[in-house]
Structure 1
């Protein structure tokens, strides 16, 4: 990473620091990607630049970038000409022969890095006259991402004024800090990139093979990674798979390092496909591996182990076991494995330090272990020189894989003198990288340690330099042998050597603890000496190839890890498959071992050690991790996918890739190899089928639609598909029909053909049936099942909802139980009262000849029956309600009155009569002063006392007695009670009396009885014995005398006239 410090003097005397670094990520003839990083006071700005140029005339390219923040979230991309955002990627809008762009990303100061993924698609024209183009996706095959980082020293310096004197050295430091271990940044293989054709029929492998008798799957051919062509096998029987066909092989053609393939095949379930991923490991690398062991033989190795024996004996035993196992991996004809070693301490004359050249002879390896065991431990720990001499043994390695395994019980106590250095924030213990050392004399022989770096506590006694003896190289601090040793290791790793360290019993001598590094610092120094894992994201012990055994007795367990590294061609491998957009996973992926290993090995993987397959990213990614394979072991990953045939945009008979990407990282901790599988494509070969549907309502009355207002506001219509067993229905589409939409609609296109069986189901709420309506009927019986070819094109399926109704009859009789006759019959109005508002259903209904009143066509609800015309002389009946409810099965509705479903009878009773009594004198004039009492049935007893008219109400059929209880003064009243009889039919009978006249009966004007009671004036006689009586008697007698005289005179005169 190239760092430049730029100081700008701002107005008002204030300094603003704008520091910029430039880092090249990809530097190829056809593509370059770089970024500049500028740290300002409040934010970090990354300026990303790229340029690509197609290398051939008929090739065009399109770059795709994805940028994530520290939390793994896609950033907000800036508006950039010619770029667009699609599914979280920032991509060029079109394929072009060349392009050059630059854009900036600004992030808060608190964020220190961005993650960048780079892909490139390439489009190839098939000829000048052909419009057909082939698109190859992700031709870079990088797999891993780049980190765009803010250097630690840059972050600090942005908060402080820059120092001019440090500018030049900072530039060097950044470049050194940006370099990672070449061994883990390198690749073993050149990926063999599958090719694909994309045209109007879809996207599918350009070099295809198909399973016998299967027409809906295309797989990619296999081949050899070192050859440009593919195997040419276009068809084979997947039912008899012998695990030899269609593999992509990496390494030697005859003895490949690993083999891999992906294939898909049809299943018995339509639109479902079995996906099968195979990965096989082998015994050897191509072109081979050189292994050098750096074995500690310092005096401390002679110390007793904490749990028995001494460190040296335990180390020798562990190494002997390891060499024995490695010998089994050796294939003489290929010289696949060569081993060498350096036995080291302080390289003093008294110490027995030895080098063993790399050899392909296992006998030499065993001799190496034997001599290690026989060499007496002596001296201190000059680890820097041990690393240098071990690295020299790789001189003849060429392009072979180089592995350096360090076994030590101590930390460095000697170093060479540093000659030049730069600042490096990634270095440890000091952030100083020694780029050159005084390590050889003029003859090219290694020198002894630099005495100036010996701690004041004693020769070689501590790793940390004494505080009283500060040292520096090129002005950069140097305080520890860890710094010099790790600088040497950094240079060795830059040459492609992969360093693995195994430390045990690491601790400072008790007498030096006050002036020595702490144990954590010592351990950090050792693991930073090791190679960093290629997929590491942190900077902890677990991010490096480092093992810390607490005791030498544990060495055997840890050295087993070295054996695994040597023996496996797939070590902690990972498969990552991103599903294509038109697919979904069915069930869970599984892993099985299909080959135990090459002859004589029998390496069956225990079930507990089989790789683990899982679904991640909302089931859109299949991941298989911890794949460890060697010696012909082969695992197979199995899972099912289903085409999403109902997804928007799906096309019939169109090839869809099952995966968007499908890769194997065989050794993700040690290399950046990302190897692509061939991606199968599949299709559904059935035409699209649109199903229109409509709801009809049979619920009108008197030609009025929705008269009862019982329809729902909407209804859900469900399209279901039957499984191949004919036992299960699954919902695939739903639509909602409404009145505003005329109760009509169409399902999205679904699959057609004789193998598909559908049915239609209406749903309102949680029920198929609308409350009050009968179970819906479906045209062509489509609710049971139908085949697409059974329907007439563009003719809707009709769902009919019929309102369930019932009739109700009641009887209307007169008081005597006989029906009404003639023209004066009762009339009724029926009103529905259970809705949101009252609805008059019928008016003017009359009884039939037998008294039956019938109301027809009533759905669920409450209905009030009211007598709106009452025959003359009868009282209006009391209103009653008809209740209409569904039966228990919901198959019909039933009517009842007062909970009874039988016929209800209503009797018209005679209306109450009114009796009016008029009191008159002999001349017919109203006469006041009388009182009348009327008694009758049911305790009727009323007395009227005022006026000349006396009105009695509420008279029901029966016999009543009218009695004059007070007679006006001077008049003669009724001398007895008058009987008045009201018959049940309303006929009125009045007892005869000379003083009483009247009539009555039932009339349209009401039931009335009118009586007139006449009173005569009477003569008043005094009582006997009184003076008044005597006077009356005298007067009477006088009158009689006078009357007699007059009568006599009259008779005398008449006689005389007659005698003449």
Structure 2
């Protein structure tokens, strides 16, 4: 028989056509569906106006009191736009702003609307999409065959106790009940094919039972299916799914060709029977039979897999096995390894004729081709069951309730064929300037007739999709979700109308054209920041720039964000300007009033830097004052233990980075920029000891002074005895900023150097140095200082004399001289010197070198008459000289008297 089949030209043509049909089914099964197109949607299309203010509906309406959202009007092709410019936006209002479609706009096939309304959160909007259905004006009948697995595994004793038979019977009864009670029962024709496997010696020789296709309001046919074919049939044998599909398709083919065709397949396991494959094609790694020898079949037993073990087969079945064996084989160089090749091929041929196959897998389990050898796991079986069904029409049932629910839904699906919205879909992409709210999109029935099976709504990848929408007369669904206007985007522009969505489309049926919803637009306000500049100059305003750059951050509820932008304020602005835009990443950006969650933004200047100045910023809400202040150092020089200022000192001030160095004189103000510095005295006032100690000082970026890590906060030098301590204080008298702290004072005390007193002994008459004198120098406390004698011993030096009062006493005069009077010498703390009771010369000199200050004192001595003593000349010389003077005086006096008397005589 095999030979005759392949040589018959007629069979070859049939095989060729089968291959062509199957290939077309596999490649385009999702597209080549019956062209039952619902009433075409009208051409009314939303219109929009674009200008400098954004994009808005040309024919619009608004909600009173809401000025940030605008919606599209409703209308139809007969009456145009509804001209309704305003209503309250109540979502329970099911009359306003619908777009109506269909040839009869007084009784439209479907109606849609989309609108948005403000919430209590700024920038957050409720979005509503409504869709109303209707019933078709002209009904197209539908022919259905229920294809029921009647194999032994449907019995509870064969599957662990699950009563699959009763679940199927009850579900089918409910299926008929729903359809019969609808107004469409006479348009729904239903038949039955129950399949198991051929039983040569039993009661089911053909392997199937059937009930003819008849109207759903034909109670006799319903009784035959429920009470005879299903109730009285003995569920036993294998699972010959291909047989059930083949017989069901034959039944459909005998009906009116213009009717819609549908198979509803229900099976609980893998096919364990299949017909012999004559020709095949491959798709997705699976071999599909394209023609079959229906007189022969394979029967692997309890598995779908073929093998070479002939001991697995009953001898009486050999006549039904081609070549008397049951093992894998090749057709068209393609392997036929299991029953799926025949079963899937049969389904593909059926679908290619226009039949829509719905399939239910009841409690699927793994497929073992031997006791411990797995052939296909449950997921692989589910994938093949999906291939049996038309696209998106496969479903699992895990228990009896799932079976009954499935059949209930199938009845609804059947009835939806008479709805104007059948398997309708919505595509709703999000507008580029919007983001979704945190809510999950919801859908509810809002029409007077409840929608039992609500459509599926999903949100992903910036779009909301609605599918499986079936709406008839008086049925309406409403989809709701929320969106935020994305004010935080750098592209945001205040008071500009942005479309809330992209083109939003509604497709009533899978074969109809899409129509457009009207898309709302929304806008949000902007704000501004006022920036003012103040200058506080100490010593030099010539370096003030013509403009400054500043950075701005924004906060929400006093919490900082990672947003930052910059601006430029210039002299030409008179150092004050209000900014509505700033620069961010080389892009000009606007300043929105609130964030994506409706929280108010507060813009503030965060930083600004101008060379030579320290910036401080005073912030208010959306207002900042930048204060640029020069900071400086002044040094006051004092004598130790005194409040007397000294002059003549010099200091060097250096930055630790080596970039700055200044030489300062006492009482000189020097401007400093933030950094670390050292101060060191390089020249002391005359007469004072140089102190080379290095003193650190730091000026921080925010204008804080410190030294050695300790802040400088005192407002005046710290007193110490009769003077001040070395150190730093804030020079409030020199500071000119608001805080009176931009100048720091450094006080440095210098100790007066000690004196060396040099006493020079000379003859008063001749000025010659005299030797042999002795002196003592006693201070006010009675302490005597020692001295050094310099050869010749006419010079005496008293060293390292501190300030105080001293008495110089000549304790031994040079021989022949009278001792000098005591000399009082006062050395003051300021280095001044005063000497009294001195008949000689003196002077004091202040030194700037390493040596002590100097006092030079000349002490004159007068010689005295020396009287004779034993062996000496005594006073004779003095007596002789005195006598001579007396004699001369007597002679002069006598001569004077003689002249007077002579004058009288004359």
TM-score (norm 2): 0.64
- 1:728 is displaced (CA, Å) by 12
Equivalent positions of 1:668-683 (< 5 A) are: 675=514, 677-682=516-521
- 1:357 is displaced (CA, Å) by 0.6
- 1:293 is displaced (CA, Å) by 0.5
Local SS of the residue matching 2:786:
strand
The alpha-carbon distance between structure 1 residues 761 and 704, as it changes in their structure 2 partners (threshold 3 A), is same
The alpha-carbon distance between structure 1 residues 833 and 698, as it changes in their structure 2 partners (threshold 3 A), is farther
2:338 is equivalent to residue 492 of structure 1: no
Alignment match, 1:436: 291
Work out whether residues 611 and 627 of structure 1, in 8 Å CA contact, stay in contact via their aligned partners in 2: yes
Equivalent positions of 1:451-466 (< 5 A) are: 457-458=313-314
Equivalent positions of 1:124-273 (< 5 A) are: 175=23, 179-182=27-30, 192=41, 195=45, 197=47, 201=51, 208-211=59-62, 217-219=70-72, 221=74, 232-235=81-84, 237-239=87-89, 242-245=93-96, 246-247=98-99, 260-265=112-117, 273=125
Work out whether residues 280 and 291 of structure 2, in 8 Å CA contact, stay in contact via their aligned partners in 1: no
Alignment match, 1:547: 396
Instruction: Give 1:531's match in structure 2, choosing from 383, 386, 389.
Output: 389
Alignment match, 2:801: 955
Alignment match, 1:896: 716
Work out whether residues 251 and 287 of structure 1, in 8 Å CA contact, stay in contact via their aligned partners in 2: no
Distance (whole Å) between structure 1 residues aligned to residue 796 and residue 549 of structure 2: 68
Q: Deviations over 1:264-303 (max 9, x none)?
A: 3467888765422224577899746543201233455456
Instruction: Give 2:217's match in structure 1, choosing from 361, 371, 380.
Output: 361
Work out whether residues 221 and 232 of structure 1, in 8 Å CA contact, stay in contact via their aligned partners in 2: yes
Q: Deviations over 1:811-864 (max 9, x none)?
A: 9899998x89xxxx9589899888987797997869xxxxxxxx8999999998
2:535 is equivalent to residue 698 of structure 1: yes
Distance (whole Å) between structure 2 residues aligned to residue 247 and residue 546 of structure 1: 35
The alpha-carbon distance between structure 1 residues 500 and 835, as it changes in their structure 2 partners (threshold 3 A), is same
Distance (whole Å) between structure 2 residues aligned to residue 247 and residue 989 of structure 1: 120
CA RMSD of aligned residues (A): 6.7
The alpha-carbon distance between structure 1 residues 222 and 908, as it changes in their structure 2 partners (threshold 3 A), is same
Q: Deviations over 1:68-90 (max 9, x none)?
A: xxxxxxxxxxxxxxxxxxxxxxx
Alignment match, 1:407: 266
Local SS of the residue matching 1:659:
coil
- 1:982 is displaced (CA, Å) by 1.0
Distance (whole Å) between structure 1 residues aligned to residue 634 and residue 464 of structure 2: 68
2:171 is equivalent to residue 340 of structure 1: no
- 1:377 is displaced (CA, Å) by 3.8
Alignment match, 1:801: 627
Work out whether residues 304 and 311 of structure 1, in 8 Å CA contact, stay in contact via their aligned partners in 2: no
Distance (whole Å) between structure 2 residues aligned to residue 355 and residue 314 of structure 1: 19
Distance (whole Å) between structure 1 residues aligned to residue 873 and residue 834 of structure 2: 49
- 1:484 is displaced (CA, Å) by 1.7
Distance (whole Å) between structure 2 residues aligned to residue 973 and residue 468 of structure 1: 161
- 1:490 is displaced (CA, Å) by 0.5
- 1:404 is displaced (CA, Å) by 1.4
Instruction: Give 1:981's match in structure 2, choosing from 822, 825, 833.
Output: 825
Equivalent positions of 1:584-983 (< 5 A) are: 584-585=435-436, 588=439, 590-591=441-442, 593=444, 595=446, 598=449, 614=459, 616-617=460-461, 620-622=462-464, 632=475, 634-642=477-485, 644=487, 648=491, 650=493, 656-663=498-505, 675=514, 677-682=516-521, 696-702=533-539, 704-705=541-542, 714-717=549-552, 734-737=565-568, 747=582, 748=588, 762-765=604-607, 801=627, 803=629, 895-898=715-718, 912-919=754-761, 924-926=767-769, 934-937=777-780, 941-948=785-792, 949-962=795-808, 978-982=822-826
The alpha-carbon distance between structure 1 residues 566 and 736, as it changes in their structure 2 partners (threshold 3 A), is same
The structure with higher relative contact order (CA 8 Å, sep 6+) is: 2
Local SS of the residue matching 2:502:
strand
Between 247-256 and 913-922, report the one with greater CA deviation: 247-256
- 1:410 is displaced (CA, Å) by 5.0
Unpaired runs of at least 5, structure 1: 1-167, 440-447, 535-543, 778-782, 787-797, 847-854, 1021-1032, 1055-1060
Work out whether residues 413 and 460 of structure 1, in 8 Å CA contact, stay in contact via their aligned partners in 2: no
The alpha-carbon distance between structure 1 residues 661 and 466, as it changes in their structure 2 partners (threshold 3 A), is farther
Q: Deviations over 1:545-594 (max 9, x none)?
A: 14254x76864355455456546688998755322224444554552535
- 1:737 is displaced (CA, Å) by 3.2
The alpha-carbon distance between structure 1 residues 594 and 525, as it changes in their structure 2 partners (threshold 3 A), is closer
Unpaired runs of at least 5, structure 2: 1-15, 583-587, 594-598, 705-711, 719-727, 734-744, 888-906
Distance (whole Å) between structure 2 residues aligned to residue 255 and residue 336 of structure 1: 22
Local SS of the residue matching 1:556:
helix
Instruction: Give 2:130's match in structure 1, choosing from 278, 281, 287.
Output: 278
Instruction: Give 2:245's match in structure 1, choosing from 360, 373, 387.
Output: 387
Distance (whole Å) between structure 1 residues aligned to residue 227 and residue 139 of structure 2: 30
Q: Deviations over 1:125-154 (max 9, x none)?
A: xxxxxxxxxxxxxxxxxxxxxxxxxxxxxx
Instruction: Give 1:319's match in structure 2, choosing from 172, 179, 184.
Output: 172
The count of aligned residue pairs is 774
The alpha-carbon distance between structure 1 residues 771 and 809, as it changes in their structure 2 partners (threshold 3 A), is closer
Work out whether residues 295 and 408 of structure 1, in 8 Å CA contact, stay in contact via their aligned partners in 2: yes
Instruction: Give 1:999's match in structure 2, choosing from 822, 829, 842.
Output: 842
- 1:173 is displaced (CA, Å) by 11
2:382 is equivalent to residue 556 of structure 1: no
Work out whether residues 465 and 481 of structure 1, in 8 Å CA contact, stay in contact via their aligned partners in 2: no
- 1:915 is displaced (CA, Å) by 1.4
Alignment match, 1:297: 150
